[in-house]
Amino acid sequence: MDRLLVALLSGAGISTDSGIPDYRGPNGLWRRDPEAEKLVTYEYYMGDPEIRRRSWRMRLGNRTLDAGPNAAHHAVAELEKSGMPVRVITQNVDGLHQLAGMPARKVIELHGTARAVVCTRCHARGPMEDALARVEAGEDDPPCLECGGILKSATVMFGERLDPVVLGEAVAVTKACQVFIAVGTSLQVQPAAGLAGLAADHGARLIIVNAEPTPYDDRADEVVREPIGTALPKLLARLTGESA
C-alpha cells in the first residue's frame, strides 16, 4: 500500500493535557470570563491602552510558554519520523507540535503563534519572551523597539483575518490528503472547521477525535470520544500498521 498523506487538524483539546485550558469547553476561558475576550479582540486592543496593559498582564500570568508537549503531540511527531507523510494544520498558538519534534515547515499555524510578537505598524517580529521581560521590568505596554508602534502577540486576534497564504496552504494540504484527522477541535470556528468537510468532499477518510460532538460527526468515517492523550497515539499506531 502506498504511503498515505495524513493531514491532522488540531485544536485546543490536544493541548489540555499540557496544562493549557481550552477556550470554548465547559470550563473554557470565554465561559468563565467573557471580559477576557476583549483582551484578544483587535479593535479593543488597538483602541484602548488599558486593554493592552491588561492583555500583557494576562500573558505574564498564563502558562502557554511554560507548557511542554504531551503524549498526543509526541505521537504526531513520531508518525512523521516513521516516514509517513504528515502535515499538521493547527488552530493552536502554543508551538507544542514543533517542540515535540514536528519540523516547523510541516506545521501550518492558522492562528499564528503566541511565542512571538509583531509590530502593528512596521511588522517587525521578535520573541514573546523578550517582550514579557520588558513588562516584568516595568513597561506595562511595551512599544516596538524599531518604530515605537503598538506591539501585539503574533496570533490572529478576534476581528483579524487569517493570513490568506497560510489558509491557502491548509486548503491545498486538505485537498491532497488521503486521511484527515480532526483532533481536539469543536469544528465550530470557520474557516478552519470547513476543512473537515472539504477533506471529505475530496475523498479523504475523515476521523474525528474529540470529547464533545461536532457538526461534522455525521460525515466522519470514524468518531473517537476517548481521551486524546491515549486515543491519538493508538489511532496513529494503527495507521502506521495499515500503511506498512
Domains of the chain, by residue range, sit at: 1-19+69-111+161-244, 21-62+112-155
CB neighbour list of residue 165: distance below 8 Å, 6 or more residues apart: none
pLDDT score of 121:
97
Which grid coordinates belong to 200?
471529505
Which architecture, in CATH terms, is 1-19+69-111+161-244? 3-Layer(aba) Sandwich (3.40)
Question: What long-range pairs does 45-51 form, CB within 8 A, spacing at least 24?
Answer: 45/152, 45/157, 46/120, 46/150, 49/141
Helices (H), 104-163: 128-136
pLDDT score of 25:
53
Q: Is 202 a catalytic residue?
A: no
Instruction: Collect the ranges in the chain with pLDDT lower than 70.
Output: 1-3, 22-34, 63, 244
pLDDT score of 185:
95
Which architecture, in CATH terms, is 21-62+112-155? 2-Layer Sandwich (3.30)
From the list 97, 111, 123, 202, the catalytic residue is: 111
Q: CA-CA-CA-CA torsion for 48, 61, 73, 173, nearest 10 degrees?
A: 10
